[in-house]
Amino acid sequence: MVTFGCDVYNDITLSTTPTISPSDAIKFAQTGLGDLVASTSVKNELFVLPIPEFKQNIYKLVYEVTMLKHKMHQRSCKIPYTGRC
């Protein structure tokens, strides 16, 4: 069986002009992580992130940033049902 789901938002009113650059997005994502980050990458395309708030959505224009930790800072998660390590 294959299923497919999709959310459609018809009330988006958002400027598609970014206010920060992809390199600034990486800097913001790394804030407070110090030397834990081994590598980062950012997609240059922009995404619209819907944030539910009081029976409506607020929309934010976002970059997708991926960060990898150094192996010495990684730990395994022993309690998978809570999603916490």
Tell me which residue of 72, 68, 69, 51 sits closest to 60, measured CA to CA.
51
Residue 83 above 70 pLDDT? no
Residue with structure tokens 């990898």?
Answer: 68
Q: Which amino acid is at 9?
A: Y
pLDDT-based confidence at residue 73 (cuts at 50, 70, 90): low
Per DSSP, the residues of 64-77 read: -EEEEE-GGG----
Calculate mean pLDDT across residues 39-48. Answer: 86
Token duo for residue 53: 């708030």
Per-residue pLDDT tens for 3-39? Answer: 777 778 788 888 888 888 888 888 888 888 777 777 8
Please give the C-alpha separations between residue 68 and each of 23, 42, 81, in angstroms, as whole numbers.
16, 12, 23
Domain boundaries in the chain?
22-72
* pLDDT of res. 72: 59
The mean predicted confidence, pLDDT, of the chain is 77
